[in-house]
Amino acid sequence: MEAVAGDQGLLVLAADDDEIVLGLVVYRLEHSGYRVIAAHDGEEALTLALARRPALAVLDVMMPGLNGYEVTRLLRSYDATRALPIILLTARAEDADSERALDAGADEYLAKPFSPEQLRSRVEALLARAA
């Protein structure tokens, strides 16, 4: 399965203000065959999403400036990114957080701490659904 995704070399946007967690996401996705563009805050994520048209976005919720919910809402308001599959990384596994993620328009959410393998399989499943 990994090989299939890799062959396609799909572009994925990863955004997190925490450099280490961002590194983890990038590592897992790159080593699963995706091309990854990294953003360090919400505005950069929004700009990159509109400019580079990734196949999927993984956004942290708690980012300075625009947070993950706000970026998701904005992405849903542009034609170019209305259908972009989005996974939100929430800080807590609380119901309120997951509800907010889905309310904002995210397709999926993953609560920290998440397993990289879990992330990979969610990305893969979401891309398969979008295809």
Partner 1 sequence: MVNNRLTAKIAKLEKLNARLERMHHALRASERQFRLLFEQNPQPMLVYEQATLQIVAANYVLAESYGYTKQELLSMRIVDLVPAEDVELLTAFFLTAAPTGPWIGGSDGFADRTRRHQHKDGTVIDVEVAGDSLTVAGVSCRVWAVTDITERNRAEAERMALAEQLAVELMGQNERLRAIDELKDQFVSVVSHELRTPLTAIRGYLEIVLGGEPGPVTAEQQRCLEIVDASCKQLLRVVSDLLLIGKSEAGQLALEIAEVDLSALLAECIAAAKPSADAKLIDLRLAGERAVGPIAGDYGRLSQAVANIISNAIKFTEVGHVDVRLHAELEWAVVEIADTGVGVPAGEVDHLFMPFFRASTATREAIPGVGLGLSIAKEIIDAHGGRISLKTEEGSGTSIRVALPVAVAG
Which spans of this chain sit near partner 1 (rule: CB under 8 A)?
Answer: 18, 20-21, 23-24, 27-28, 31, 62, 91-96, 112-117
Task: Tell me 60's DSSP state.
Answer: E
Least distance between partner 1 and beta carbon 130 (Å): 25
For partner 1, which is the closer residue by CB, 27 or 78?
A: 27
SS3 77: helix
Least distance between partner 1 and beta carbon 16 (Å): 9
What is the gyration radius of the CA atoms in the chain, in angstroms? 13
For partner 1, which is the closer residue by CB, 4 or 91?
A: 91
